[in-house]
Amino acid sequence: MIFLYIILLILMILVVLFIFTGKNDMLSQFKDRQELSLSEIYNQYFSTADISRDVFEELWKELSSWLEINPSLLRPDDAFNKDLAPEKGNEWDHPVGLMPDMIQTKFKKAGLTLPDLSQVHTVRDYILLVAKAVNGNRRRKCESC
């Protein structure tokens, strides 16, 4: 019986190490990246886009939290299938794999037609697409005021 508990404990330790090792590998690619404030990111990459600063900041923080990445290290050109992709074996519970559901939920809440998600390749694509849902949801709330 004790032997069974020891094997179970060893398996649990290996699972935990496997999970944290995969996450650290993904985050290690950002360690040498210069940090930018949200204002700098907005001014450099989104100020000419059809998105307000407050919506941008809300979505940027939400996405970086979802991905568990420091928001000052995330960049608009980071690709979900490359820069932010899960390590082999960690695909099932990785946030990038769950993003289509998150996007669809936002659009349903806003009462908008579900978008073509095959066009969402980068962080910029995500921010600009989801901003439509956020703006649509805010418009619906204002109409009911």
Please determine, for residue 19, whether its predicted confidence score (pLDDT) is greater than 60.
no
d(CA 94, CA 69): 13
User: Can you give the residue range of the structural domain that contains 26?
Assistant: 2-143
Please determine, for residue 131, whether its predicted confidence score (pLDDT) is greater than 80.
yes
Range with lowest mean pLDDT among 41-50, 75-84, 108-117, 120-129: 108-117
d(CA 53, CA 49): 10
d(CA 76, CA 33): 13
Please determine, for residue 138, whether its predicted confidence score (pLDDT) is greater than 60.
no
Extract the tokens encoding 117: 């998600």
**Could you give the number of structural domains in the chain?**
1
What are the backbone angles phi and psi of residue 7, rounded to the nearest 5°? Answer: -65, -45
What percent of the chain clears pLDDT 90, i.e. is strictly above it? 32
Q: Which amino acid is at 55?
A: V
Of the CA atoms within 13 Å of residue 123, those in its CB half-sphere come to: 26
Contact 80, 90 (CB under 8 A): no
**What is the mean pLDDT of the segment spanning 16-25?**
50
d(CA 78, CA 133): 21
43: Cα separation from own chain's centroid: 21
What percent of the chain clears pLDDT 70, i.e. is strictly above it? 72
